[in-house]
Structures are given as structure tokens and as C-alpha cells.
Amino acid sequence: MRLIGNVIWLICGGLFTCLGYLWGGFLLCLTIIGIPWGLQAMKIGIAHLAPFGREVVPTGGSIPLISFILNLIWIVFAGIWIALAELVFGLLFCITIIGIPFGLQHFKLMRLAFYPFGYDLR
């Protein structure tokens, strides 16, 4: 199921979403100040390549206060909009029975898009 789900995911937009996140992350990394957020955008892009069979887990190696501050900046400038987009796509996919697995993947990625610092998809 994971292989079939990931292949369908890639064909139906996962590849384009990944490329968009990678491009945005690259642009953020061009500035010195944007490097932490650019790396997180690239992490989200890579997570959009194959979300089936993976879980959002805490990394455990980060400092909670710094992660909180970086997540707060992320939420204000990008995270809320990315999470809302994931929510809308998740709800749209869950309207049909066939789309429910893909909607659940959007809900899973919504958590990573809202709090990218301190969480990873494994």
C-alpha cells in the first residue's frame, strides 16, 4: 500500500509540491538570516515526496526555547498559511472514500508544516 500510495501521490502533485518547497527553501537560504527556515522548507519538501508509511516524530535533539522561537517566527510568516492549505486539501480529499488515505497524509503533513523545528518525518 505504501508504494502504490507514494507513486500515486507523486504523480498527482507530490513532486510539484516538493519542487516548490525546495525552490522556496533555496531562495530563503540565499540570505544568511533565512537559512534555518530555508532548511525547514526543504525538509517539508522532501517529506512531500513519500509521506505514506512515515510518521511525524519529535527530533529530541533541539533546544526547546530556540525551537519555540523559530517556530513562532515560522508560524507568523509562513506556517499558518501552509497548515491551512494542508487542512483544506485534507478536507477535500476526505470527501471521497478513495481520497481518504491522501487526506490523512495531508493532515499528517499539516503538523510538520505548522511546527517544523523540533519535528521530523521518519
Answering whether pTM is above 0.85, one says yes
Of the pLDDT bands very low, low, confident and very high (cuts 50, 70, 90), residue 60 is confident
Of the pLDDT bands very low, low, confident and very high (cuts 50, 70, 90), residue 101 is very high
Q: What percentage of the chain has pLDDT greater than the value 90?
A: 85
Domain boundaries, the chain: 2-121
DSSP code string of the chain: -HHHHHHHHIIIIIHHHHHHHHHHHHHHHTSSTTHHHHHHHHHHHHHTT--TT--EEE-S-S-HHHHHHHHHHHIIIIIHHHHHHHHHHHHHHTTSTTTHHHHHHHHHHHHHHH--TTEEE-
